[in-house]
Amino acid sequence: MLLHLDTSARSRSFSRALTERFALAWRAANPGRDYVHRDLAAEPVPPIGQAWTEICDNLLRHGITEPDRYREAVRTPEQRAAWDVLEPLLAELLAADVVLIGSPMYNFSIPAALKLWIDQVTFPRMSLVGRAFVVVNARGGSYLPGTPREPFDYQERYLRDFFAGHFAVDDVTFINSELTNALVDPQIEHLAEQQRASAMSAEQRVDAVVAELSARRAGGAR
């Protein structure tokens, strides 16, 4: 299954255009496979609360690490209400073999809408080994290696560290569309040609990643 998450506050954005391109190509290359799309900006998930933390405590206290046993950690009415929110989100994530995330850079990091989702579906010692994550980033400036703003990229760095540290996943592909503000900011409009080149490169990268992942799935990998 392909789980497709959009998080941009803009209804028309670079990250949305690229994730749509990916999803359309993926579905064409993988007919019959399930597909779920969540617009986390239009329909944000709620922040975690006290009851969610209690579920985590119960998981740790009783050594429950298998996701299909998480329900055993739900004890109180408040915890059941928290579970009703997170369970469908978690079920979608566990059912997916490819997770596609569109993430514009906001203030050097990820959108709040994406962080809310991450908080809801992440539990202690949870492994998602075997799944592939594809993250499409759109950034107003350039944060590529060697650029002055490279040290301020807490978007890709955070997500890469998170997927590895919490989910034990190293199959993560980042596709970056840089310098999007060159289309609206007079101070960097001279970089518009570089922006167009970056956007084109991102589109080509999307097509290549779809082809690569589709071939791997056809070969029998999860």
The dihedral sign for the CA sequence 96, 102, 108, 111: negative
Q: Which two tokens stand for residue 218?
A: 């056809």
Q: How far apart are CA 144 and CA 147, in angstroms?
A: 6
Give the residue numbers of the binding site: 13-15, 105-108
Angle, CA of 71, 72 and 76, to the nearest 5°? 85
State the helix-helix crossing angle for 50-61 and 77-95, rounded to 10 degrees.
70
Angle, CA of 18, 26 and 108, to the nearest 5°? 30
Strand partners, 135: 101, 174
Give the residue numbers of the binding site for FMN: 13-15, 105-108
Amino acid at 133: F
